[in-house]
Amino acid sequence: MRNPVIGAAIAAVLTAAPAFAGHIFEVERTSPDGETLTNSMRLEDGKFVMEEPGDPQLGTADSQVIFRNDPARLISVDHGARTYNVMTPEDLEAGMASMRAMMDEALQNAPPEQREAMRQAMGGAMPGAEAPDAPAIEPTGRTRRVSGAQARQYEVRKDGRRSHLVWAVAPGAITGGRELADLYGEMAVFADGMSMMANVGWMYDLEGNFDGRLPLVVEEFGEDGELDATTRITAAGETDIPASAFEPPEDYSEVEAFGP
């Protein structure tokens, strides 16, 4: 470097500040009555692991969801049963095809209205059911600050009614935002063409739906127009993440995702 002063300054910064490769986010989901469930998500290089606490009242154990992009796959870990399963897009489609066939057979003798109600509830996941239309997503023109960044509001409409309000920020406006946006891109590829992801895949298409912005607050509305839940994503810091965090524990047993 020709300027020794600048070179020395850069060296001082690099040696004074630790370089962390990973990022931590807190994901909060709040119901209208104020009850909040908080999950921690760590991400690095197109991979993430989300911790999901169990509920003793429901008898559920702590679990993890891991996404890897090398190749793309989801790993679900059940700490209570000490098991895990691995699902590629092909595995998910094959498993859903089997479940669709089983449901279709079970509904063969059901009344037509019950059968039709099930088809609509499952969207494109049952034989003969029409794939759900892509939602209409438009900016509302409203803005506010979210996590210290300027956010724009987008309205999501499905079947003519409001289903979500989304507050999205420029990815570079929050710590780890660009990395999270890249992860969403990986998830969009993972979900593309999968019938079971048809109702949520729009959330990962940042360029197509949110002008390249990153959703940080998502408000969900029921068919009655009332608020059902609010999800908030907050950057919680940077950290070194061991490679083992993106793998199931070595002493756990692998099981079939769609097995008995």
The predicted-structure confidence for 183-199, as pLDDT tens digits, reads as follows 998 888 887 766 656 67
| Nearest by Cα to 67 from 185, 152, 165, 186 | 186
Q: Beta-carbon neighbour count of residue 235 at 10 Å?
A: 19
In one-letter notation, the amino acid at residue 244 is S
- What pLDDT was estimated at residue 108? 77
Q: Is the peptide bond before 71 cis (omega within 30 degrees of 0)?
A: yes
- What pLDDT was estimated at residue 260? 60
CB 62, CB 76: distance < 8 Å: no
- What pLDDT was estimated at residue 21? 78
Long-range contacts of 155-163 (CB under 8 A, 24+ apart): 156/202, 158/132, 158/133, 159/133, 161/221, 161/223, 161/225, 162/221, 162/225, 163/135, 163/220, 163/221
- What pLDDT was estimated at residue 246? 95
Tokens 């962390």, located at residue: 20
CA dist., res. 208 & res. 135, Å (int): 12
Q: How is the chain split into domains, by residue range?
A: 22-251
CB 67, CB 48: distance < 8 Å: yes
Q: Listing from the earlier edge strand, what are the strands of the sheet with 136-146?
A: 136-146, 149-158, 161-169, 214-221, 227-239, 22-30, 36-44, 47-52, 63-69, 72-78, 83-87, 253-254
Report residue 7: phi and psi, to 5°: -60, -40
- What pLDDT was estimated at residue 129? 52
- What pLDDT was estimated at residue 228? 95
Those residues of the chain that have pLDDT short of 70 are: 1-20, 115-116, 118-132, 193-198, 259-260
Residue 212, by phi and psi: left (phi above 0), alpha (psi -120 to 50) or beta? Answer: left
- What pLDDT was estimated at residue 230? 97
Bridge partners for 216 per DSSP: none
- DSSP assignment letter at 247: S
- What pLDDT was estimated at residue 55? 81
Tokens 């099930």, located at residue: 118
- What pLDDT was estimated at residue 83? 96
- What pLDDT was estimated at residue 109? 77
- Indicate the CATH number of 22-251 among 3.40.50.11540, 3.90.1150.10, 2.40.50.140, 2.50.20.10: 2.50.20.10
